[in-house]
């Protein structure tokens, strides 16, 4: 790995979050994509970082408030009259 490529990897790492979030200018994205095309390690880091973020969005990872906790909350707030049905 040459020093030049190493610098590009470090630059990509610094911009990784914003690249994933689509928050970079088209010019910067183009530069990053050019680097990605020739750097397998950076492609792996990008793919696995994206996947990590995706995983937390699945319903399996989005716990909802348990019914008994909701009930105690409503009672504490004197909102007993609105306990049922659960509004959406």
Buried b (16+ CB within 10 A) or exposed e, 6-18: eebbeebeeebee
1 lies in the site for another protein, by CB under 8 A: no
By rule CB under 8 A, what string of x and - marks binding of each residue 7-26 to another protein?
A: ---x--xx-xxx-xx-x---
Q: Which of 30, 38, 67, 79 binds another protein (CB under 8 A)?
A: 79
Distance separating alpha carbons of residues 6 and 66, to the nearest angstrom: 49
In this structure, the dihedral spanned by the alpha carbons of residues 18, 21, 26 and 30, taken in order and rounded to 10 degrees, is 70
Binding residues for another protein, rule: CB under 8 A, are 10, 13-14, 16-18, 20-21, 23, 41, 43-45, 47-53, 55-58, 60-65, 69-70, 72-74, 76-77, 79, 81-82, 86-88
């Amino acid at each position: 790995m040459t020093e030049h490529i190493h610098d590009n990897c470090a630059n990509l790492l610094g911009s990784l979050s914003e690249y994933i979030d689509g928050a970079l200018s088209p010019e910067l994205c183009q530069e990053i994509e050019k680097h990605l095309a020739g750097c397998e390690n950076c492609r792996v880091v990008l793919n696995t970082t994206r996947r990590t973020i995706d995983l937390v969005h699945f319903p399996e990872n989005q716990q909802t408030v348990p019914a008994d906790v909701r009930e105690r909350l409503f009672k504490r707030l004197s909102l007993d009259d609105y306990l049922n049905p659960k509004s959406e």
